Amino acid sequence: MYCTNCGEQMNDIQDICLKCGVKKNTSHQYCHHCGEMLSPGTQFCLNCGVGVQKSSGGLEGEIGGQSKVVIILLCLFLGCWGVHNFVLGEVKKGVFKILMSFCFGISVFFVIYDLIKICTDKYDIDPNGVV
């Protein structure tokens, strides 16, 4: 994880950057995943492809350019089929959840996991990730 204000590498458990003193995910000048500088108004990092999180600390705000409330509702009602993953551009995750739903019926665990991560602003959009 990297500071989104100065690009300095941080621990996953740090809440404040030791270099600049800014709380994590309050700025969007640098990618939180790879530390590269972001263009103003961008939704995805051009270096690693990860979505830029816009943490608001509540239900208002955005995830990957989509309303957080909409993503939560999609995850809650259609999450077993990975609909929220398709909306966020995570096609591999969406297909994986469809397969898990039809083959093993265990996708409800993924829904609970995603809901907790989305509601606590810890959900990272990774278009190349599977889980």
Q: Per-domain residue ranges for the chain? A: 1-42, 56-119
* Secondary structure of 81-102 in HEC code, one letter for each residue: HCHHHHHCCCHHHHHHHHHHHH
H helices then E strands: how many in the chain?
Answer: 4, 3
pLDDT at 37 over 80: yes
User: Percent of the chain scored above 70 by pLDDT?
Assistant: 93
User: Which H helix or E strand runs over 118?
Assistant: helix 107-119
As a whole number, mean pLDDT of residues 47-63 equals 69
pLDDT at 86 over 80: yes
Q: Nearest CA to 55 among 7, 110, 15, 10?
A: 15
As a whole number, mean pLDDT of residues 11-21 equals 83
pLDDT for res 54 = 54
